[in-house]
Amino acid sequence: MGKSSFTLLETLISITFLIIVIGGFKFSTYGDEQEQKNFMLLNDLENKFDTKNYSLFSKNTKNLKIIKNQTIVENIVVSKYQFENEQIKIFKYEK
């Protein structure tokens, strides 16, 4: 009789420990809903950069003047693609 009550106590402690560990992983792994939305948006923006699909971005064109070796002057036209919302600001320069 003494052995079975000790085994029951061990079982209850083990179950309590497992519940705490599993609950901790459940709440720490996924984050909140806003973080998930930001992650999905960043992933989508990265894919659009890779495929050069700039539909969500604003575009500005700039002329750059580069001086090489203090003598050679080179003019380059670059495009700046930019996305901005309340939490994310990302841009890319492309020649």
pLDDT band at 4 (very low <50, low <70, confident <90, very high): low
Q: pLDDT digit string (tens) for 22-79?
A: 877 776 655 677 778 888 888 998 898 888 888 889 999 999 898 988 889 999 999 9
Q: What is the pTM of this model?
A: 0.57
> Phi and psi dihedrals of 77, rounded to 5?
-100, 125
pLDDT for 2 beyond 60: no
Which pLDDT belongs to residue 77? 93
The average pLDDT across 83-90 equals 88
Which pLDDT belongs to residue 3? 57
